Amino acid sequence: MSNIKTMQMITDERERALLAPYAMHSANTRGRRHAEAAHPYRGPFQRDRDRILHSAAFRRLSDKTQVFTDWNDYHRTRLTHTMEVASIARTIGRALRLNEDLIEALALLHDIGHPPLGHAGEDALAEVLRGHGGFSHNQFALTLVEELEQRYPSFPGLNLSLEVLESQAARADKSNPNAAPLLEAQVVDLADSITYDAHDTDDAVKLELVSLEELHRVPLLAELTEELIRRHGPLEPKPLRKALVHQLIDYQVSDVLAGAGAELIAGNFPSFDAVRAARFRLAPSAVVLARKRELEIFLYNAVYRHEQVMAVRDEGQGRLKELFSVYVKNPDYLPEEFRHRAEGVGLERAAGEYIAGMTDGFCGRQYESYVRGKPRSPAN
């Protein structure tokens, strides 16, 4: 296309006009591991977002557990959680004039490495892979997009921009005190926490694991409820639950924008490098952080450790471990590409990675075939 240069100039001009100087502008990207020509009408981070969206691993999020497995059609899956994170992250990013394309790419990527059965699945895999590299969903997201996804003839993985890979690597290793993630990556981390605090509260009430009255034991939720009643008068349980979730999101987003967000804007940082050198952190205020901690302790005890959730968790973990040992004893049950991968990374690791990529449903069917019943050929 003869107008490539013109289109690139349009992306650059658009970003110069809309984004703050401290945002990660497409013009400043360090490129990709495997060099590729610029796309005629998409900027680099738009292209990353599209590559993630079109990956098999992303589509599988629709049948992966967030917290609750198959209870009804209401609660979040890993996919709807991801879309909520992308939406809230873009809202914060737009208010702070950050790069929304990069934010969206990072949000769509952030949970792509989750195995079936949520954190229960992750813990079971970490246990069976002890001594074989362990398992973390944040790290596995990188393995997926750099090695396992095969979508392009010229390179393995998705060949994402280095800024995207580096941001996901910072999620995977939070131990580096010198790390100063890009603001766009920090926004996604914040949005993740805002999102799950709100939707886990919503799902838990809807699934009747906790009552609205019990929520009032959490000071933040009691305060927000009082405020809603002041504004609307007494509310029936259903509208109250919904209003409370909206309020919980708005409360957290407003806090970030009014606190750290305002500080960022006032800082007049001339470039993303300057903001990074200053190790600027976008974080909730101390008050909100303490309030969120109280809410998260409540969610942990009343919801994540609820006996019904724990029963599903224990059963799922047992199944996943059994399936793993069946694959390790019978490598011919693995699809060809994972048998081949086992030659490089070891059989245990390859079997664990194969399981990690599965949806809840596929994992259940594999269990029924290979552990409970008559083996059949592995599906792709």
Q: Which is nearer to Mg ion, 15 or 192 (CB)?
A: 192
- Of the candidates 342, 335, 336, which has an alpha carbon nearest to the alpha carbon of residue 358? 335
Q: Which of 128, 204 has the CB closer to Mg ion?
A: 204
Burial 239-278 (b: 16+ CB within 10 A, else e): ebbebbbebbbebbbebbbebbbeebeeeebeebeebbee
CA distance 183 to 29: 14
Of the pair 111, 122, the CB lying nearest Mg ion is at 111
Which of residues 100 and 111 has its CB atom nearest to Mg ion in the complex?
A: 111
Which of 107-115, 141-149, 280-288, 357-365 is the region at the interface with Mg ion (rule: CB under 5 A)? 107-115
CB of 85 to Mg ion, least distance (A): 6
Residue count at the site for Mg ion (CB under 5 A)? 2
Per CB under 5 A, contacts with Mg ion among 194-223 are none
CB of 91 to Mg ion, least distance (A): 16
Judged by CB, which is closer to Mg ion: 144, or 323?
144
- Name the minimum Å distance from CB 119 to Mg ion: 11
Q: How far is the CB of 12 from Mg ion (least distance, A)?
A: 32
Q: Is 192 or 200 the residue whose CB approaches Mg ion more closely?
A: 192
Where in 138-157 is the site for Mg ion (CB under 5 A)?
Answer: none
Closest separation between CB of residue 111 and Mg ion, Å? Answer: 4
User: Which lies closer to Mg ion via its Cβ, residue 86 or residue 355?
Assistant: 86
Q: Which residues lie below 8 Å from residue 106, measured CB to CB, with a gap of 6+?
A: 89, 164, 167, 168, 184, 185, 188
84 binds Mg ion (CB under 5 A): no
Question: Which token pair is 290?
Answer: 């303490």
Give me the least distance between CB of 196 and Mg ion, in Å please: 6
Residue corresponding to tokens 């996901």: 168
Q: Which of 48, 100, 101, 111 binds Mg ion (CB under 5 A)?
A: 111
Stretch that binds Mg ion, among 105-113, 115-123, 281-289, 348-356 (CB under 5 A): 105-113
- Nearest approach, Cβ of residue 76 and Mg ion (Å): 10
Footprint on residues 178-197 left by Mg ion (CB under 5 A): 192
Q: 351 and 334 in contact (C-beta within 8 Å)?
A: yes
**Scanning residues 295 to 354, which ones bind Mg ion (CB under 5 A)?**
none
Phi-psi region of 379 (alpha: psi -120 to 50; beta: other; left: phi over 0): beta
**Sites of contact with Mg ion (CB under 5 A):** 111, 192
